[in-house]
Amino acid sequence: MTALVRPVLFTQHFGGKPEAFKAAGLIEPILNCDTKLFVDPTLVPTSSNSEISGAGFAALTERYRNIIKLVAASKSEGDVAWKGAKRLLNLDECPETHLGYGGSRTTGSSRPAELRDVILRTTKQIVELGETDPTLLSLVGLFEEGVGPDTIGDFTSHCIFEALVAISAEFYEQHDYPTVAFARLKGAKLVPDPKDPATPILLVPGDIVRDLPLAVDWTDVQQAISQAGEIRQRFDAFFIGIAEPTITQKKQALRDIALSSRTLLRLLLDALLQLATNYDPNEDAFNYYALRSILSGEIDSQVPTYEKPKGDTLSDLHRVVMDIADHFKKQVEKNNLWELLWNDDRPKRERAGQLLFFAVADVFCKANNLDITPEGNMGGGPVDFKFSSGYSARVVVEMKLSNGSVVHGYQKQLEIYKDASETNRGVFVVVNVGKLGKKLQTIKKIQSFRAGAGQIASDIIVIDALPKASPSKA
């Protein structure tokens, strides 16, 4: 996975105000990495953007129906009709949207041809049951291994590509952004990507994206199964005597059930569609929008003036990282940043805290012109953060919510990450959102034992992110 390094917002590079994107219902891109959100075909027909729900959905429907016609006409895999369907099933990455798993690499690439065969086989079975609804494409990710959210999202983006072009061109013209005419897109005037001027930047409405497309999110699938009576009964019967079936086993069982009849297939799809909701910027489960707000200065992180280290050694870097962590601690505990770690009375997911830390660290480094690079993996990669300075100085940071695997994180994970990064310096950040129990006491004992054995024991920083009373109530 590629790391997110020094993110650059669209408005930071081209000017303008982030509020304009919000008012238009569009996601402001981060130019040098992808945001892990995906266009979900089930959300396209209900978009509040008339271009998407109109021309976009019509294009998606036409593409899927053409694929269906060719698959239905195919007598065997590899014949002319089958090859025609494969050509229409465009699974290439769509770098223009800056969404997906790309990390700092936003250039597109192709997926293996075998994956298209897998999707077409399932599509053929669906067609043979008599179903032609284009949103059924999302179910392929539920039935097949290897068909992930990025696959579904990129295919859908290609289908509604012209609608995205129209939306983007209109926005750029309204806000006087510098554009060029792209001949291959019928002369549409769009903002070129500064990393690749031959590629335009396309803007995507926020109400057609999810953190995981519907049928890839097993939590939603389980809920849909529970609401679909006959499917639930058959599904439960599959696993009598199996204590903990794997996701692969569950997928196979659901595939066998849903593809056994058109009635059951439609029952499953209808149950899933009732759960179809976009990634909510108000809940902001992973702090994707909060990350943008901090980077743009909308959320004041009160960065202090900082005395730069005079050297460029590992000890200097370690001191800076500890000061950044302490600054983050103060922002959470004293400056109400804890609010961005909660959805009402529920703590957000761990990734939300990690992105919040990354944003504050990045702003801290930029504000003080510190020549160190914080790296965070947008795709949930092997280490939360690695700070580096010069050729060999590296410090890794691992963050855990207190309701998660704190002991394993300190005892095992952080040490593995340190070895992988070829450093002996690590910082372990525990964000207390409850259920801490004796976990802190346990990892401090591990820390003391290691220090007593002459090892360099990783630092532990505890941040109180429990909800605070407002000043008027305190």
Structure confidence by residue, pLDDT tens digits, 188-205: 999 999 999 999 999 999
Spans of the chain, pLDDT less than 70:
1-5, 101-110, 138, 212-218, 301, 371, 373-383, 470-474
Cα–Cα distance between 252 and 349 in angstroms, integer? 28
Rg (CA), the chain: 24
The sign of the torsion formed by the CA atoms of 211, 217, 223, 228 equals: positive
pLDDT of residue 211: 85
What are the tokens at 126? 């669906």
Give me the torsion for CA of 421, 360, 168, 64, rounded to 10°. Answer: 50
Report which DSSP code applies to 184: G
pLDDT of residue 1: 36
What pTM value is reported for the model?
0.85
DSSP annotation string for 66-96: HHHHHHHH-SSTTSHHHHHHHHH---S--GG
DSSP H/E element including 429: strand 426-432
pLDDT of residue 474: 43
Q: Among residues 53, 48, 57, which one has the least CA distance to residue 26?
A: 48
pLDDT of residue 468: 87
Q: Among residues 43, 25, 39, 41, which one has the least CA distance to residue 276?
A: 43
* Number of Cα atoms under 13 Å in the Cβ half of residue 47: 31
What are the tokens at 242? 């199996």
pLDDT of residue 388: 84
pLDDT of residue 368: 82
pLDDT of residue 472: 46
- Contact criterion met (CB below 8 Å) for 70 and 95: no
pLDDT of residue 371: 67
